[in-house]
Amino acid sequence: MKLYNYFRSSASFRVRIALELKGLAYEYVPVHIAKGDHKQAPYALISADTLVPMLELDDGRRLSQSMAIIEYLEAVHPAPALLPADAYAKAQVHALSQSIACEIHPINNLRVLKYLVRELKVGEDAKNVWYRHWVREGLVAFERQLAQLPASTYCFGDAPTLVDCCLVPQIFNGKRFDCDFSGLPRTMAAFDACMKLEAFQKAQPSFCPDSEA
């Protein structure tokens, strides 16, 4: 398999974590979205949405969107499981995951931040305030959701799930923008537990071949 991705992309990071947790080998193909490589050939010729990540299977078929990619990996490589077998528990994991992937991340990703600066002429400081506000608000809501669950090592239970694949990249990027993580005990405990695992360490941005590009 080939994973077209960018080292700082939260969505790419999610997929790298899932691949590492499942012990799946893949070829790392960098697409430097900060430089606009995703909008140009050769990547734009094979990616309809010109976004990262994109997973190319051994037979040449391609999948976009991180959550769909992880769902595919879960279906064809079910162990170790990133989703519970119980239908209700599975829905809970999806809901928690989407709180990050669909509520926090979309309004703070690179293209949104660039639009704020380039088209709306928002200053750098104001852009960072925007980022920190929405990350903080989203994580506070996420913490309230975790507080309703039984105590656990990770976000949902005592093994990493899809939620943790989403949480860790969000915290990483939040740290880059100096976000406030105070008063989030369950959230940060889950993050710390994840970072003790080799799979999360190997997937982090500083280990990526394009991290110095």
State yes or no: cis peptide before 53, omega within 30 of 0: yes
pLDDT tens digits for range 11-39: 999 999 999 999 999 999 999 999 999 99
DSSP string for 7-44: TT-HHHHHHHHHHHHTT---EEEE--GGGTGGGSTTHH
More confident residue, 211 or 33: 33
Q: How far is CA 42 from CA 22, 47, 202, in A?
A: 29, 9, 27
Residues 187 and 144: their CA atoms lie apart, in Å, by: 10
Average pLDDT score over the chain: 96
Choose among 76, 69, 97: nearest CA to 164.
Answer: 97
Tokens of 79: 């162990």
Residues 19 and 3: their CA atoms lie apart, in Å, by: 10
Tokens of 212: 């110095």
* Complete domains list, the chain, with CATH: 2-80+200-207 (3.40.30.10), 87-197 (1.20.1050.10)
Tokens of 55: 């997973």
Residue showing tokens 């960018």: 6
pLDDT tens digits for range 101-136: 999 999 999 999 999 999 999 999 999 999 999 999
pLDDT at 211: 82
Q: Is the predicted pLDDT of residue 180 greater than 90, yes or no?
A: yes
pTM: 0.96
pLDDT tens digits for range 124-177: 999 999 999 999 999 999 999 999 999 999 999 999 999 999 999 999 999 999
Q: Is the predicted pLDDT of residue 212 greater than 80, yes or no?
A: no
User: What's the pLDDT band for 213 if we cut at 50, 70, 90?
Assistant: low
